[in-house]
Amino acid sequence: MTVILDPTDEAVPVSRQITPRSGQVSGVVGLMDIRKPRGDVLLDELERLMGERMPDIEIRRYAKPTFTKPCPDDLRAQMKAECDFVIEGLAD
Amino acid sequence: MTEVPGFELQDLDGASHAFPSVRPTLLCFVKEDCATCNLAVPLVQAMHSAFGESVNIWMISQTRDGGLILKDRHGLTLPILEDTTLKTSFVFYFDIVPAIYWCPDGASAATMFEGFVKSEWQDLNTDISAALELAPAQIDWDSLPDWRPGCGSKHLDPDIHDRLQAEADDSPIRARKIEVASADDVAEFMFDQGFSDGLPLVPPTPERVMRMLSGTRRDAQEVIAQMPPNMGEATIEKVAINAVMAGCKPEYLPVVIAAIEAVCTDEFNIHGVMATTMGASPVLVVNGPIRERIGMNSGLGALGSGNRANATIGRAVRLAIRNIGGAKPGGTDRSTLGNPMKITMCFAEWEERSPWAPLHVERGFKAEDSVVTAFAMTSGPVNIVDQESRAPDEIAGSLALGLEALFLPKYHMMPVDTLLVVCPEHIDTLLKDGEYEKSRLRDRIQEVTKRPLRDMVADDVSGAGMTRDAAAKLSAEQLDKQVPKFASSDYIHMVVAGSDAGKFSSAFHGWVTGAMGSQSVSRKIEDI
């Protein structure tokens, strides 16, 4: 038998419950621009369509400082505090 | 009296013997293949015959098989304890066998010696007999030599010692131990676990990791970085494990540590560097005295294969990012094509062949500091070939034209780093008429690469560049404006490397440079 040492960070991901789905969209919906080129064009269109189809919801826009770096903690906390839903693109 | 460690060992018949003991005790550590031990063993047996009624006379063999051979060879009747794990030898920490401990109170030693000095053994015989008021053991002292050197204790064999240290109570090792069954192939196991970059790895056994940790004075549990994307804690120990897998020697470890500290800064932004579809990776340049000390290559083939330090330092950094940070191709590493720099890219600057201040001095360090500088690069090394130029400005012009390839020759005013590696023969041509400062070469690059803005507008040949709509809003005069390749000459970094023969320089091409992407970062390397 050979013993080797674990080269990884040994982190065990926390298993999280997915938020229950109510079947409808209400309250505040955040649209997060990760700052990839033309991401704003897509989100503008999404905001327009959602405004037409779901006039009762409030849409708020957010943007990361740069697509190259992880979302700052403060911005994540702000979205969590202000939004019921968030739509975010991951990449191009 | 000297305190000695306690133990519980079994003899060859499986009976347990514990120390400290209520009886006076003589301990003699031996190994079978040591000639001096074979000289001493009959003496210990004679003492057992003389004093064994009142005293524990225990021989401790460093292997079970050795104990059996000694018993047979010398007709021994004394208890032969076995220390096959060598853990008891390790905690006693003598250097030489035979090693003698006479403990009249059964717990601490009144007499300790190693090897064979006849007078010491005679004194031992006298002391025990006096303490017990018994006749001394009958030994033919005249037949024995005055002195014989002992042998190195088995627990000091390099492999065994490092394993024992890794397993000891005060071991710096905290990483999870993974037991690979003997039926499994360790190399295959590590591939299966996803530890590898695609090439075979050196198994990071505790003893190898112990040896790797000897390359730094820093605490094994010191956290040097929270490594993206998983924000894994990069401890010195975890870095050492990955350095073992990469094939590093312990003396390379300080370079690996400094490089990881550099790439895990917010400025360098290893998260973005690894994640981008463009396919970036750290390119590491090492400066200062450590280059020589650890045998790095800055000459022939510096950017290629064949030098262990160059190859394994870069690989260790990349393996750490993969295993500790969790950046894996197909996961958060989304590179469209990838590039070989994602396996390794590290080299040293040939400072002595350079007419310029070395890179680290240019960046504010002292010449005697050892420093690693990390650049986020997406392409390279891209050869720049010019075997004909004989005038300084001609060769400088060729280097400039070579750099136009960065991203796309059409693109200009690029706010993007480049790392130009100038080869010695091109340096010689640059210096033909006297000094040729880096600033002059940078200016020459900017001058030679100037093109009218209209060449950058999207057209039928290439849709890249300024949009036709944007160009339509500009006057003819504006479109005639000459723009250089780089938004500023500060984006042009230069070092010297390569063999004395060959007119081939090379360039690495950057990624998104600056606060929105990655900035090059230098870190001083720990002095050992």
Strand partners, B418: B492, B509
Query: For residue B435, how many other CB atoms are within 10 A of its CB?
Result: 10
Cβ contact, residue pair B232, A68, below 8 Å: no
Average pLDDT over residues B41-52: 96
ipTM over 0.90: no
* Residue that has been written with the tokens 């094509």 in this structure: B337
* Residue that has been written with the tokens 């007419």 in this structure: B355
pLDDT of B35: 96
Is A4 inside a domain boundary?
Answer: no
Closest CB from B177, B228, B324 relative to A5: B177
For residue A40, give the 3-state DSSP assignment: helix
pLDDT of B113: 96
For residue B28, give the 3-state DSSP assignment: strand
pLDDT of B463: 97
Lowest mean pLDDT among A15-19, B185-189, B458-462: A15-19
Contacts of B111 (CB under 8 A, 6+ apart): B100, B101, B102, B123, B124, B127
Query: Whole-model pTM?
Result: 0.81
Is A45 inside a domain boundary?
Answer: yes
Residue B517: closest CA among chain A residues belongs to which residue?
Answer: A68
Window 170-209 of B, Cβ < 8 Å to A:
173, 175-182, 186, 190, 195, 203-206, 209
pLDDT of B442: 98
For residue B131, give the 3-state DSSP assignment: helix
Is A82 inside a domain boundary?
Answer: yes
Residue A2: closest CA among chain B residues belongs to which residue?
Answer: B180
DSSP letter string, B257-318: HHHHHHHTSTTT-HHHHHH-TT--EEEEEEESTHHHHTT---STTTTSSS-HHHHHHHHHHH
Q: pLDDT tens digits for B380-397?
A: 899 999 999 999 999 999
Is A17 inside a domain boundary?
Answer: no
* Residue that has been written with the tokens 């003396």 in this structure: B251
Q: pLDDT tens digits for B233-254?
A: 999 999 999 999 999 999 999 9
Find how far residue B85's CA is from the centre of its chain.
28
DSSP letter string, B157-185: SHHHHHHHHHHSTT-S--SPEEEEPTTS-
Q: How confident is the model at residue A92 (pLDDT cuts 50, 70, 90)?
A: low
Cβ contact, residue pair B233, A3, below 8 Å: no
Q: pLDDT tens digits for A40-90?
A: 999 999 999 999 999 999 999 999 998 888 889 999 999 999 999 999 877
* Strand ranges, E, within B357-481: 371-385, 418-422, 451-452
* Whether the Cβ atoms of residue A40 and residue A33 lie closer than 8 Å to each other: yes
Domain span including residue A55 = 28-88
Q: Which chain A residues have a beta carbon less than 8 Å from that of B176? A: 5-6, 10
Is A6 inside a domain boundary?
Answer: no
Cβ contact, residue pair B232, A91, below 8 Å: no
Q: How far is A1 from chain B (nearest CA, A)?
A: 4
Which domains does chain B carry?
2-154 (3.40.30.10), 186-449+484-524 (no CATH)
pLDDT of B103: 96
* Whether the Cβ atoms of residue B496 and residue B350 lie closer than 8 Å to each other: yes
pLDDT of B457: 97
- The number of residues making up chain B comes to 528
Is A20 inside a domain boundary?
Answer: no
Whether the CA torsion B480, B481, B482, B484 is positive or negative: it is: negative
Closest CB from B205, B230, B323 relative to A7: B323
Q: Which chain A residues have a beta carbon less than 8 Å from that of B331? A: none
Residue A68: closest CA among chain B residues belongs to which residue?
Answer: B272
What token pair was written down for A62? 């957010």
Find how far residue A19's CA is from the centre of its chain.
14
Is A56 inside a domain boundary?
Answer: yes
**Cα–Cα dist B64/B307, whole Å:** 43
Cβ contact, residue pair B272, A68, below 8 Å: yes
**Cα–Cα dist B511/B339, whole Å:** 13
Cβ contact, residue pair A4, B272, below 8 Å: no
Q: How far is B185 from chain A (nearest CA, A)?
A: 9
Q: How many domains are there within chain A?
A: 1
In this predicted structure, the answer to whether residue B165 has a pLDDT above a threshold of 90 is: no
In this predicted structure, the answer to whether residue A91 has a pLDDT above a threshold of 90 is: no
Contacts of B44 (CB under 8 A, 6+ apart): B26, B28, B57, B59, B78
Q: How confident is the model at residue B106 (pLDDT cuts 50, 70, 90)?
A: very high
In this predicted structure, the answer to whether residue B263 has a pLDDT above a threshold of 70 is: yes
Q: Which chain B residues have a beta carbon less than 8 Å from that of A90? A: none
From residue B320, how far is each of B260, B325, B326, B448, B522 by CA, in Å?
Answer: 8, 7, 9, 41, 18
Q: How far is B233 from chain A (nearest CA, A)?
A: 6
Query: If you compute the radius of gyration of chain A from its CA atoms, what whole number of angstroms results?
Result: 18
Cβ contact, residue pair B203, A4, below 8 Å: yes
Is A80 inside a domain boundary?
Answer: yes
Contacts of B127 (CB under 8 A, 6+ apart): B102, B110, B111
Burial pattern A37-73, b for ≥16 Cβ within 10 A else e, equals eebeeebeeebeebeeeeeebebeebbbebbbbeeee
Q: pLDDT tens digits for B9-32?
A: 999 999 999 999 999 999 999 999
Q: pLDDT tens digits for B384-430?
A: 999 999 999 999 999 999 999 999 999 999 999 999 999 999 999 99
